[in-house]
Chains A and B, each alone.
Chain A
Amino acid sequence: MASIVLTQVSKRFVRDVRRPPTMLGRALSLVTGRRNKAVVKALDEVTLSIGPGTILGVIGSNGSGKTTLLRAMAGVYTCDGGDIKAQGKVISLINLFFGLQERLTMRDNILLLCSFFSLSRRDAAKRVRRIAAFAELEQYLGTRLYQFSAGMLQRLVFSVAIHSYPNILLLDEVFEFGDEAFKRKSSRTLHRIAARGGIVVLVSHDLALVRRHCSRIVRLDRGRIVADGGTEIIRSYLKRDD
């Protein structure tokens, strides 16, 4: 059974507030005391426990810390404070075009992507046809990726991710693409992952999408969880905007 527990997780970023100075500029700033950096709290003591079978929606305005939260859960970011415990195989789709080699065929790219998700070459080779079939791209196995449309690439990467059997699937604005039939198929797959004890975390600005799929919703604001509950969170979020 999958689970993720975040305990007082904090993440700070040091951001440039002015153009990065030259070596001479840096040396002068030691004398003048003029600072070119500012510290931004992207996550501020976030505590969150997600149990098996949950499809969690994360909403919030731009810069509220949604993607940082997802990256912290995925293990991409190391946190400055607190602790994250994830049980189960985590697969993150934060950017759908990561790691693709445009000059290689779809088959070669499937093998490459599978290796990021800890699959052996033999296991990946066994799944190539299934992955292509789910993405509805069977006839393009020998086609090089630069000839694919963005939609085809999205379907391919999503298909590789779900065929790598994640217990915890982290999605950042990368869900519901393709035609209606493919959207329905993807949606069923997410619910199947949750039904067999997995976790799906869906970060999105599309509130209708979050309302449709998520059994639990958290709202972030300036790196803090300000609301945690069901679809009523969306109503209160919309009211705030009014």
Chain B
Amino acid sequence: MIRMDLARHFLRLSYALALAEFKARNEDSAFGILWYLLNPLLMFVLLLLVFGERLGAGIPHYPLYLLFGIIIFEFFIRTTNESARLIHSYRVLIKSVAFPRAALVGSVVMKALFSHAAEIVVFSIVMALFAVPPAGLALYPAVLVLLCLFSFGCALLLASITVFIADIEYVWAFLSRLLFFATPVFYAIPSGSAAGALNLANPLTHLITVARYLVIYLEVPPAWAIAGSVLSSLAMLAAGWLAFSALQKRFPERI
């Protein structure tokens, strides 16, 4: 019963914080949510122009393949980058009130979901332009749940460790750039290659692959990608939750 109350408080608080932050950020902006779309769209146009001919030649519906990869990757990066400095930015709150502190990280994921929803609307318009049936989008929430769990776990881990090792924020900013190039966002890895085998260790590869199969190609994703998505999401969630639970008791005296 107490656990149910805590879970409800966690979800309510995450939502309230996400909504407040989202509103506050867009309050004085003339274009509001359009600014969130600008970054992925700009990246999409640039990569399409630079790599479209060379890397996209053998990939069916390459523009959709690229755009979907970008917006899924952007969701993960937005969540984790913001979480790396989250606890310090809420220091007054953390030292004043007892509340489920993981809700701060939960709010970052929810806020990323708001802008992700807008990106999915843009993506569905591009799908229509390429005459790809939108039926696959109905299955996307299943992948999105896994993506949220994976991002939430990773964000919990980063948020808690950064309190004790400030350099993690900079390390993560660097690693996330590397991760972009290590993930098949704008290219495809030939199956059976050494790079393909190496990329099995990258959970984002699994999630993006499953999403593309379901939404763009309307096909059943490979078993390795489904298994990898589920297992890595649950493992990251468990690791993040355990680290955050163990370290959060010391947050108020470290910030």
Q: Which residues in A have some Cβ–Cβ distance to B below 8 Å?
A: 13, 71, 74-78, 90, 92-95, 97-99, 101-104, 108-109, 111-112, 115-116, 118, 120-121, 144
Contact = CB atoms under 8 A, between A and B. Distances in A.
24 contacts: A71-B95, A75-B98, A76-B96, A78-B250, A92-B97, A92-B98, A93-B96, A95-B92, A95-B95, A95-B96, A98-B92, A98-B97, A99-B97, A101-B20, A101-B23, A103-B27, A104-B27, A108-B23, A112-B16, A112-B17, A115-B12, A115-B15, A115-B16, A116-B13
Interface of B: 9, 12-13, 15-17, 20-21, 23-24, 27-28, 92-99, 249-250, 252-253
B92 A97 contact: yes
A103 B98 contact: no
A95 B253 CA distance: 15
Contacts of A74: 97-98
B20 A112 contact: yes
Contacts of A108: 20, 23
Contacts of B24: 101-104
Nearest to B90: A99
Contacts of A77: 252-253
A92 to B, nearest CB: 6
Contact of A115 (B13, B21, B98): B13
A121 B27 contact: no
Given A112-B20, A121-B16, A103 B97 contact: no
A104 B28 CA distance: 10
Contact of A71 (B12, B16, B250, B252): B252
A76 B23 contact: no
B218 to A, nearest CB: 38
Nearest to B95: A76
Contacts of B249: 78
Contacts of B16: 111-112, 115, 121
8 smallest A-B Cβ distances: which pairs? A75-B98, A115-B16, A98-B96, A78-B249, A103-B24, A94-B96, A95-B96, A98-B93
A91 B92 CA distance: 16
A173 to B, nearest CB: 12
A164 to B, nearest CB: 11
Contacts of A90: 98
Contacts of B21: 101
Given A104-B27, A116-B13, A76 B20 contact: no
B101 to A, nearest CB: 10
A110 B32 CA distance: 23
B25 to A, nearest CB: 8
Given A104-B27, A118-B9, A76 B252 contact: yes
Contacts of A101: 20-21, 23-24
Residue among B27, B96, B252 facing the most chain A CB atoms (10 A cut-off): B96
A101 B90 CA distance: 12
Contact of B253 (A13, A98, A104, A115): A13
